[in-house]
Structure 1
């Protein structure tokens, strides 16, 4: 009597080749269920259906197939324990040597538009996870495989070790099986949490992901790093198309996500461009054309833009591509790229060019690791409500100033706090980022803007604790200030603005970024 393998897979990739090798080369007998049994039988392989082996038919429309003592007894038995052997003999159960299972396509199902809850529920696998967990628990005695990519490695183990599999390999596969079921359950839990529509964070927060790429290193060469994908359906950066360029690095991906967040602020009806360095914008601009927006963003701080990351909210055209090739850039991301632009960009073959059609689709929560756990918060993706803004000065803003303040407010939201942004005519002129005090950020932004600041607006991500920054802004020629307010000394800043003839708007919302 040969060794026994149980094959029950939703993804049939490679299963026929594996089964054939098991039978013909290593004399395995195969038990299989449902569609897997049909696939193998149609290929001419000898297969025992699970229902025939257990003596129990599949019931409830296939919901119950493998949940049976003859299956789980064969998986969990310890053949070196006499009492287990007695149970196997008494119940006519054969111990399994191999369990190959992958799960119903739950994530692929919920990714489809307009999927119903009932449809999603039917793709929640019950028997599959039970078999995977049981086999993983009993790895000392059998092997569990949960992905097609593991099949050849298993066959290689058999060929190189006279039909045996090492304990180390079985344990490694068990670990992968537990990770597989954890990710599956996390996806289901996340789906049902999304149905609740509650703002509150859940009592239990699980993080799981599949490694899709080992990165050369992290922020520095001595730090190991890898890129993980959440779920089995590619979304976000894992779904991006790379037209050209070197492999993405850890720092590239961090900067690209920061660039995506900024450019997502701007409606694609108006061309917009952002140039970033170390997650902070060097320049952000809007224009009548994409090339105009890019030129404004680049020229806002061309020195810092060297070696930067560029995000565009419209497809790259030939004119914009030509400008992009005039300097050294690390990465460019846009929703698309026409054929002429693609040909032009090839002249700078090392620059990484990525296409991400939906730049606005980002995570609803952000996660940051700390010692002993992590912090989770809702993403700062609030849509600005201008009707809630308050003009608190005697001088009222013009419609042009309101539009400029909205632009500046969208930019300052994505600058490390303490953040100050000076803008005029739809382009950032000066950016003060990450200073330990707000006065320092004001001085940096105004110094960078220089004389161009006259008539411009100044945005602050947090309130002014004193009126000194307002007076400094007035000396530089700033005409309007937008800030959240909330200081016990707001009245001092408002009084200074009135005294100096500056417009001041309070948003009531702050945008700290740490």
Structure 2
């Protein structure tokens, strides 16, 4: 149900990390949500009331093209100074004042199958409309809150819960961050054109590029710019590190300075800890999920996850454990090098003494009281998952579409996979068995490549994929995917379902006696 208040938020994001938490609070504080088509589908699939941007823009005969800023109701709603003239005009044309925007710009690079940048397609993919909307929101900071970074969601939530409104001070700081964000995007475009300038001249003019010697734009301030995107975020993070840690219920008890990029990874790990109840270890390297393992004994969960590590061991690891760190687990941890951060809910005195001799960052976390862990149970053939977003995943919500019914162990393996896939990248594959991720794969090319990567990683890790499970975040639409999985002994598959080639995929799965489950849910990230 759409709120009858006059507060509106516009959301258009590529990075959907923590978005559901923010949207839930915004709705609680009577914000109506308008979202671009992809974000609309994502929020709608999670049960949130949301207005489709396309429907909103076309709800007026004067709108001839939803991409023309001069006619764009979103643009006018963001840039308006709330004058009496605007109030009258907006009522006549069914235009809403936008009080908050949540936007991030997608990467414009387009790659060919051989992972070479396609210059022309990349240029066509440049997002000039979104950057203009962000500049308009930041410029109009008195009336509009502009958010470009998921890391700032906690501040907005905290301020709404404390004051029921967003202060001008916060709006100014977020506007400043937005201007910097757009500047860095424009700088990235400039670098792209500088890099491919000769290619574009040759292709479009078909002449000697040396004839074109137009001087590049320069300014006195150019040499004074001393940060790129990551450096800027790191500076902002360090200036407010105590507040960031406090907002996330984190306490650093030892180790060197925490990096912004590591903080983002830690936030992702905390999301996983809202899902797992059984003792679980999660390993990340360079923001990439490497392995997950659960076991009734914490030290065994760590050993299993370490053995399933998907990336080269010489990279620094961030290790998350959802149980208090004890001396038995630490004894195994200290035997391994390249551990950068350990994230735990608590730590025993002896374990802390042993770790104090190591150059490792140790963080103690406390999950939010509002967080709801996911609990998967098997009762009289009723499988269900209680998720933190209150969605009930029951037997009636899934569909066993294969002739062969999955065994109870296969069902447990598939649910283990599905819990992890919820927070992983689009077009990702997880291969698992016995509560261990044997291999994880993702690909910008297609799902088949992701499957090959996951199984290859499982082999590199020394695992036998026979009788293992595959979870796919995306629809499986090619029969060659099933042929390949059958070749390596995969016996059960869990995927969203709902593609036009479902019947063909099910038929091939039946041919190999593979169990297949449709969840009727896709987590678009």
With structure 2 as the length reference, what TM-score do the two structures score?
A: 0.52
Tell me the equivalent position of 1:500.
512
CA RMSD of superposed structures (Å): 3.9
Tell me the equivalent position of 2:503.
491
> Aligned partners of 1:347, 1:469: CA distance in 2, in Å?
48
Tell me the equivalent position of 1:99.
none
Secondary structure (helix, strand or coil) at the match of 2:362 reads: strand
- How many aligned positions are there? 304
Q: Which has the larger displacement, 256-265 or 397-406?
A: 256-265
Equivalent runs, 1:166-185 vs 2, <5 Å: none
> Aligned partners of 1:224, 1:499: CA distance in 2, in Å?
53
The Cα shift of 1:322 comes to 1.7
The Cα shift of 1:225 comes to 3.2
The Cα shift of 1:252 comes to 1.0
Residues 174-214 of structure 1, C-alpha deviations (whole Å, 9 max, x = no match): xxxx99x99999866556879xxxxxxx9xxx868799xxx
Tell me the equivalent position of 1:436.
445
Secondary structure (helix, strand or coil) at the match of 2:236 reads: strand
Tell me the equivalent position of 1:449.
458
- Corresponding position: 1:273 with 2:285: no
Whichever of the two has the greater Rg, that structure is: 1
Tell me the equivalent position of 2:486.
474
The Cα shift of 1:260 comes to 1.6
Q: Gaps spanning 5+ residues in structure 1: where?
A: 1-116, 118-177, 195-201, 364-378
The Cα shift of 1:279 comes to 2.8
Tell me the equivalent position of 2:299.
291
> Aligned partners of 2:156, 2:406: CA distance in 1, in Å?
53
Within the candidate set 455, 474, 477, 1:462 is matched to 474
> Aligned partners of 2:311, 2:242: CA distance in 1, in Å?
40
Secondary structure (helix, strand or coil) at the match of 2:464 reads: helix
- Corresponding position: 1:355 with 2:364: yes
1:412/1:489 CA distance change after superposition, 3 Å: same
> Aligned partners of 2:323, 2:228: CA distance in 1, in Å?
30
> Aligned partners of 1:192, 1:390: CA distance in 2, in Å?
45
- Corresponding position: 1:339 with 2:353: no
- Structure of higher RCO (CA pairs closer than 8 Å, 6+ residues apart): 2
Secondary structure (helix, strand or coil) at the match of 1:410 reads: helix
Conserved? CA contact 2:261–2:287, under 8 Å:
no
> Aligned partners of 2:240, 2:230: CA distance in 1, in Å?
22
Within the candidate set 241, 244, 250, 2:254 is matched to 244
Tell me the equivalent position of 2:267.
257
The Cα shift of 1:344 comes to 1.2
1:243/1:428 CA distance change after superposition, 3 Å: same
The Cα shift of 1:435 comes to 2.8
1:380/1:219 CA distance change after superposition, 3 Å: farther
Q: Gaps spanning 5+ residues in structure 2: where?
A: 1-28, 30-141, 147-151, 177-225, 373-386
With structure 1 as the length reference, what TM-score do the two structures score?
A: 0.53
> Aligned partners of 1:193, 1:395: CA distance in 2, in Å?
54
> Aligned partners of 1:355, 1:332: CA distance in 2, in Å?
9
